[in-house]
Amino acid sequence: MRFLVAGALLACLPAQAQPVHSPEVAADRTVTFRLMAPAAHEVNLAGEFMKGSKPLEKNAQGLWSVTVGPLEPEIYNYNFTIDGVKTIDPNDPAVKTGSTPSTIQSILEVRADRPSFYDAQPVPHGEIRTHWYESKSLKTTRRLTVYTPPGYDHNAGTHYPVLYLFHGANADETAWTRLGHVNLILDNLLAVSKSKPFLVVMPFGYGVPPGSANPIAGGNTAAFGRDLLEDVIPFVESHYRAYTDRDHRAIAGLSMGGGQSLSIGLNHLELFSYVGGFSAGIRTAEFQQNYGAFVADPQKANQKLHLLWLGCGTDDSLFPASESLSKMLDDAKIKHIFKKSDGAHTWINWRRYLNEFAPLLF
Amino acid sequence: MRFLVAGALLACLPAQAQPVHSPEVAADRTVTFRLMAPAAHEVNLAGEFMKGSKPLEKNAQGLWSVTVGPLEPEIYNYNFTIDGVKTIDPNDPAVKTGSTPSTIQSILEVRADRPSFYDAQPVPHGEIRTHWYESKSLKTTRRLTVYTPPGYDHNAGTHYPVLYLFHGANADETAWTRLGHVNLILDNLLAVSKSKPFLVVMPFGYGVPPGSANPIAGGNTAAFGRDLLEDVIPFVESHYRAYTDRDHRAIAGLSMGGGQSLSIGLNHLELFSYVGGFSAGIRTAEFQQNYGAFVADPQKANQKLHLLWLGCGTDDSLFPASESLSKMLDDAKIKHIFKKSDGAHTWINWRRYLNEFAPLLF
């Protein structure tokens, strides 16, 4: 009997007989990555905690390993390349997934001595709700993720402002919760009264199939925009106690979703009064088309917009585009914040931008 | 500018220059798996659609491939073993994850001409809510997943029965929604009036750290049971419009969770009246300890239980344990259903069992 039970459970275990501990974070925050691969010729590590890649070294048993760091406490993505095949660390249960294979990576969490702004803390918690809705504009069933702040269920008389928050290319409507920790960041801000309570609505950002076209070119934004304006917003405002005026609506996104939030938000000042673009996926060649009408009327822009917030890391290859947009806004005398941060095109920055952006809303 | 933008997006793509399409489902439902790995010596495929494993063959460009099937429409887990390293298919965005690395696999979905019972269909949809709650019994912040049936938000006067539903070893509180499609199965049953509307509460099934002990031995069930009875049920009954009597409470689970639901449910007939064990992780050596008191009073059992449902696949190495439990119940003249199905220890069966079990509740 014992044998049969053990057989059933072991059937799920990887081929390696011995469990391999990877990644292992030591007390000094150095991190050791390991892989049992006696037949492999070359194993490399790449990750958001380093530039380029680093080879692992093989011991006599075929166990490859490398140690990096010490690393700053943070949540990092990384991957192995095993004899030319880029893949995850098969011994790490934390896997980043999305809507295309290019998003797949392993996740390393290096904890600080004290909880970080994105960690679960013993404070009142909001909820994450997942809806399946019929998109009339896109003629399909889609998923929608909504954060409700602590107490939402028990404050029957209270209405809430809404932040529409978009993910990047290759991701999906779960990215801001699973990778962005949006609920924990907002729970923690609320617990110290640094932010007002508001709903966060996170739709699926593809109006065309993921991978079918350049995701930051205009076609996808147009299709996604129809779903947002014709399906998502009406769904939210009929299901939640949401304010329905522009003063209580914000729109923001990262990468592809930053291009969407800027393009849709700045061209719909009748709907939105707070606009954010995090490491926005924007192209200077399309500036005139996307923002021409907006910058042509700076008086209206400054009067209508309570906040226009741009952020980008100087190591991000999209940095020059954000800088050019900021300069275009400066030239037109349109008030905005341009947060020029360290770092690259990573969730490290997007969590931090959200933590900085949220207290400025509503 | 274009170059910079392309650079940012390409940075996320795998090392292979050409996108590789894998798995590819043909019109005749044969499925081709591919992997670009010029340096590899041996690549094997294993999956729930076949016994054992099958080698891929390499062409002159280093592209490995193999075709299997035709396959029955279903959702299958599979993996590659590349030169002895068991890993995912890096070109498939659908990855099964959980609380330990042993759960990581790729997911293949073969669609039928018509939607399956577990597919999203254009019917009224329930919601999935994720809560973060402080478990006083386990002294930590934990997550809890809840399904609310269609219309829950708008039926302010209505109360609902509750099914407490548990995942298996190496999984987590998201498994029944992500892999089990619990919400879609129940939405579809409700749409044709085959089931009553009820809440489904899916807690995290580990009271000890995943991987730290035999998950189906008693220690984990005891710790998990405290969290369930002292924290989860009070949380649910104070947050939701749930009936709070035994006639409106069901408890069920799969594998490790099936052991938990049987052990907790059958020993708490004052709390539960419907009990289900799907491919239950149970050990005959513990039958007396776990069910001795229950089978000692068959009159009480038959009077109190509205349903005791066991299901297991004949290819499951846990089948003999379920069969032994059923025989023990027969010997004691305790009414129950024992569903002896085809198949093994897979989500294929667990989705089907739920679809059969749910209409018998409440």
Tens of pLDDT, residues A231-265:
999 999 999 999 999 999 999 999 999 999 999 99
Scan for tokens 């500036």, then name that residue: A287
B354 closest CA partner among B147, B170, B140: B147
Confidence of residue A143 (pLDDT cuts 50, 70, 90): very high
- CA–CA distance, A166 with A278 (Å, rounded to integer): 10
B82 closest CA partner among A97, A92, A42: A42
Q: What is the pLDDT of residue B1?
A: 26
DSSP class of residue A360 equals G
Confidence of residue B218 (pLDDT cuts 50, 70, 90): low
B79 closest CA partner among A16, A96, A3, A212: A16
Taking residue B55's Cβ as centre, other Cβ atoms within 10 Å add up to: 12
Among A193-202, B11-20, B139-148, B195-204, the range scoring the smallest mean pLDDT is B11-20
- CA–CA distance, B260 with B263 (Å, rounded to integer): 5
Q: What mean pLDDT is predicted for residues A94-108?
A: 94
Q: What is the pLDDT of residue A191?
A: 98
Inter-chain contact A9–B239, Cβ cutoff 8 Å? no
Structure confidence by residue, pLDDT tens digits, A177-186: 999 999 999 9
- Interface predicted TM-score of the whole assembly (ipTM), two decimals: 0.91
- CA–CA distance, B16 with B193 (Å, rounded to integer): 50
What does the block give as tokens for B322?
């379920």
B198's CB contacts (< 8 A; 6+ apart) are B149, B160, B161, B162, B163, B250, B361, B362
Q: How far is CA B299 from the centre of its chain?
A: 33
Which residues in chain B have Cβ-Cβ distances shorter than 8 Å to A15? 81, 84-86
A77, β-bridge pairs: A107
First to last CA, chain B: 62
A36 → chain B, closest CA residue:
B85
Q: What is the pLDDT of residue A244?
A: 97
What does the block give as tokens for A255?
């990468």
pTM of the entire structure?
A: 0.93
Scan for tokens 């292992």, then name that residue: A24
Confidence of residue A210 (pLDDT cuts 50, 70, 90): confident
Q: What mean pLDDT is predicted for residues B237-241?
A: 95
Residues A83/A42, Cβ–Cβ less than 8 Å: yes
Q: Please compute Rg for chain B using Cα positions.
A: 22
Inter-chain contact A134–B120, Cβ cutoff 8 Å? no
Mutate to test the interface with B, among A2, A3, A12, A58 (most CBs of B within 10 A): A12
First to last CA, chain A: 62
Residue B259 CA: distances (Å) to CA of A353, B253, B277, B291: 45, 7, 7, 11
DSSP class of residue A38 equals T
- Helices B2-10 and A319-331: crossing angle, nearest 10°? 140
Inter-chain contact B1–A283, Cβ cutoff 8 Å? yes
Which residues in chain A have Cβ-Cβ distances shorter than 8 Å to B94? 97
DSSP class of residue A232 equals I
3-state helix, strand, coil split of chain A in percent (to 5) is 30, 25, 45
B136's CB contacts (< 8 A; 6+ apart) are B230, B231
B303's CB contacts (< 8 A; 6+ apart) are none
Inter-chain contact B8–A318, Cβ cutoff 8 Å? yes
Which residues in chain A have Cβ-Cβ distances shorter than 8 Å to B93? 97-101, 103-104
Q: What letter represents residue A321's amino acid? A: A
Cα angle vertex B197, ends A140, B171, to 5°? 70
Confidence of residue B155 (pLDDT cuts 50, 70, 90): confident
How close A360 gets to chain B, by Cα (Å)? Answer: 25
A240 → chain B, closest CA residue:
B153
- CA–CA distance, B63 with A348 (Å, rounded to integer): 35
